[in-house]
Structure 1
Amino acid sequence: MQIISPSGLAVTISAPGYFLDRQKLDDYYLSLAQDAGVALLAGTVQEAKLQGSRRVVWIGEERIDARVVIDASGVAGSIARREGIEPMRHREDIAWAMEADVELPGLGDEPLFQYWIGSISPGWKATFSPASGDRATLGVFVRGHGQNVQPFFRGFLSRFKAFKSRQYRDMEKMKILSIRRGGDPIAVLPGEIVADSLMVAGGAAGQSGLAYSIRAGRICGSVAAQAAAKRDVSRRFLSRYVRLWNREFYWQYRMGRASLQTLAAMKDPEIDRLVRGLSGKRLISSGSFARKAILAGAATFLSRPRTVLDLARNLMRG
């Protein structure tokens, strides 16, 4: 992938990337659930009121008395919030997104995902993701500017066309096929994610990232199953989920938030200088999270020492 600075400088990182068909992925996991005996009920759940040691959930006219309810409703976190808990520590830092499926001959065959950073998409990134053939996606993920990020998307679209015009003669003929809007809880950190008979996982809990959400869901589901089997669905028992998640991911998420807070405070010329200094450096490695962080931190320190100091301050703030 490439990280592209405001002036067009780039850092190339040799890491494999994949474009997922999200609908097929969802269908695959739904089929696994059904094969395991799970009953899928389509509907909208408005609330999950606590009654004794159970939660009462209504789907249309059907009442379900559940020992444990898991809220995986995305960034809205609607069930948990209606029940009086706030599953995100910094909800105000959700990155609001607008993403388009686009089409242009050959555009999807480019070899690298590209991420633009800086004022073009404040607080996070603008993205180009080739999907093979003629298809790709373009998106902006913006923090601190409210949910209407369309002005940033229009700006990125113009910038992208200009950037690619040397490669594609017919860049102005690129078609926008569809548009999606949503939120990415990349920097919010989990807040209160368990209560009596209630758990929160995935985007609703600030657990951003598909692979991370899947792992969080496995931890959450495992603890929920143990709680149901032991007939102890108290907040105290369900807090085992919090402890297990923290053990695996807490510092990775803290570092991610601190990194984005540091990036958001940098002006475009500062980002240009940092990217110029990092170009050609080795930024990723195998091994533990600590090893990877040390390697990336050392490269950053040599390029712009102040960045590491700012990162440390933001890490301490949480």
Structure 2
Amino acid sequence: MYCDVLVVGASPSGIAAATSAAEGGAEVILLDKEMGGDFDHPANTFFDGMFRRAGLEVEEEYVLHDLEGMRIISPAGHAVEIPAPGRFIDRGKFDALYLGRAEGAGVRLMRGVARSAPLAGSGRRVETDAGEIGARVVIDASGVDGLIARKEGLSPLKHPEDVAWAAEAVVELSGLGEEKYFEYFVGSISPGWKATFSPGGGDLATLGVFVRGHGRDVRPFLDRFVELFKKYKSAEYDVSEMKVVSINRGGDAIAALPGEIVADSLMATGAAAGMSGIAYAMRAGTIAGEVAAGAVGSGDVSIRGFSPYIRRWRREFGLEYRMGRASLLTLGRMRDEEIDRLALGLSKRDLGVPGSFFRKGLSTGISLATTRPRTIPSLVRSFVEG
């Protein structure tokens, strides 16, 4: 079996990469172990500004619940409220919509697992449980572990030790999903990043923890957060009736940053390349697919032929990811008491800044710095080291 471009992993970035490569004239196969079944894609919330920033449109057919913004909640319960329209989505419908568009562009969907992708002549020979596939270009979009990229000698994450490992509970409680704000809980409740509450409409919501520096098994942090959340909401709901429906696990490369993401006939994109977030990962995949199709067309599938992928991604998103990493590392160095004082100061400021999502984030960062000047050296150091 042969194709111009083989994309491994039907993640948002993988689907986008396959679609854009096919639209660029390449013969494309999209391979995933769950193809035709239920994908394990637990991410379910995004903000409209991020979609616009990535050149995407929000489509109501997969939206379950509209959000008005986010609250960042300190260990002592001080809340910083940021208006920012967002959505809780049905991931099954979301994935099906974009897979259908990939097929419409000419992508062949295939179920299987890729085990290796060694160089073979002017392409790669991919060993899968569905047989051998020859491809001029292989794009690894298989998630944060990036198994193909790593096996073939790349180090696609610059800081793999900073992957945030996640555990998320889908919960039911009468009326809980009707709330209008996504909530981030920061501090020692979820070291290194956040715990989250995502209202999904009706009685549905998710509670999650994203933890750095404590290994992959973060279930104890989730259990602790669920109990804290019940206390936090006990004045509004009969939390004794809250039921945990299911538990999802995964990893998020938000602080890992891209490392080596291209080799001859091989690219990594999305979480496999340290590019996290649904919208931003899809944009990264789109760029990768466009560059892959162009490289196949020109006959140059070398590292040099893929250089536009790196340049374009850095130009569009490099600064944001470095700023995000610096902010997370700074947060991780702060004690709960410091976070409380910072949140109390920010809660007295108007963070309803007009403009893009990036501008809102930048304004919040400026407010943080002026409220707590001692954080500036740590932020700068983290940015430079990133």
Query: What TM-score results when the alignment is normalised by the length of structure 2?
Result: 0.80
| Partner residue, 1:122 | 191
C-alpha separation between the residues in 2 aligned to 1:217 and 1:313? 30
Residue 279 of structure 1: aligned partner = 347
Corresponding residue number in structure 1 for 2:12 = none
In the other structure, the counterpart of 1:309 is 377
Report if the CA contact (8 A) 2:75-2:340 is conserved: yes
The correspondence for 2:317, drawn from 235, 249, 256, is 249
AA in 2 matched with 1:308: I
Say whether the 8 Å CA contact 2:113–2:130 is kept in structure 1.
no
| 1: CA distance, partners of 2:117 / 2:99 | 23
Aligned to 1:269: 337
1:220 — aligned with what? 288
1:94 to 121, 143, 163: 163
Q: Is 1:188 matched with 2:188?
A: no
Query: Cα distance, 1:61 vs. partner?
Result: 4.5
Alignment of 1:143-158 (within 5 A): 143-158=212-227
1:165-204 superposed matches below 5 A: 165-168=234-237, 170-204=238-272
Percentage of matched positions with identical amino acids: 58
2:76 match: secondary structure: coil
Question: 104, 123, 138: which one pairs with 1:54?
Answer: 123
2:157–2:258 CA contact under 8 A, matched in 1: yes
Q: Does 1:5 align with 2:74?
A: yes
What secondary structure sits across from 2:267 in the alignment?
A: strand
Q: How does 1:21-40 map to 2 (within 5 A)?
A: 21-40=90-109
Preserved CA contact (<8 Å) 1:12 1:280 = no
Paired residues of 2:144 and 2:252 also in contact (CA < 8 A): yes
| 8 A Cα contact 1:282 1:299, kept in partner | no
Alignment partners' CA distance in 1, 2:306 and 2:231 = 52
| Structure 2 counterpart of 1:113 | 182
**Cα distance, 1:307 vs structure 2:** 1.3
CA 1:292–1:2 in structure 2 vs 1: closer, same or farther (change >3 Å)? closer
Q: Secondary structure at 2:132's aligned position in 1?
A: strand
Distance 1:89 1:60 in 2: 30
Q: CA deviation at 1:292?
A: 4.8
Displacement of 1:265 in angstroms is 0.2
Distance 2:355 2:375 in 1: 23
| 2: CA distance, partners of 1:295 / 1:26 | 33
Aligned equivalents of 1:23, 1:2: Cα separation in 2 = 27
Displacement of 1:63 in angstroms is 2.0
For the residue of structure 2 that corresponds to 1:14, the secondary structure is strand
Aligned partners of 1:262 and 1:310 also within 8 Å: yes
What does the per-residue CA deviation read over 1:126-153, in whole Å, with 9 as the maximum and x for residues that have no partner?
0000000000000000001111111111
Superposition deviation, residue 177 in structure 1:
0.5
Unaligned runs of 5+ in 1: none
- CA RMSD between the two structures: 1.3
CA drift at 1:89:
0.2
- In the TM superposition, 1:284-295 aligns within 5 A as 284-286=353-355, 289=358, 292=360, 295=363
Cα pair 1:47 1:83 within 8 Å, conserved: yes
SS of the residue 2:87 aligns to? coil
Separation in structure 1 between the aligned mates of residue 261 and residue 270 of structure 2, nearest angstrom: 10
Task: Give the 3 Å change call, closer, same or farther, for CA 288–40 of structure 1 in structure 2.
Answer: closer
Moved more, 116-125 or 272-281: 272-281
Aligned residues: 316
SS of alignment partner, residue 246 of structure 2: strand
Match of 2:366 in 1: 298
1:259 counterpart SS class:
helix
1:184-205: CA deviations, max 9, x gaps? 1010000000000000000000
Contact kept? 1:191, 1:205, Cα under 8 Å:
yes
Specify whether residues 98 and 61 from structure 1 end up closer, same or farther in structure 2 by C-alpha distance, changes over 3 A only: closer
Q: Which protein is richer in strand relative to its size?
A: 2
For 2:143, which of 47, 70, 74 is the aligned residue? Answer: 74
Indicate conservation of the 8 Å contact 1:297/1:308, yes or no: no
* Contact 2:73–2:183 (8 Å) recurs in 1: yes
How far apart, CA to CA, are the structure 1 residues paired with 2:364 and 2:71? 16
Can you give the 5+ residue segments of structure 2 that lack an aligned partner in the other structure? 1-69
Q: CA deviation at 1:49?
A: 1.0
Mapped partners of 2:74, 2:355: distance in 1: 26
What residue number does 1:141 align with? 210
Of stretches 65-74 and 302-311 in structure 1, the one that deviates more from structure 2 is 302-311
Matched, 1:161 2:230: yes
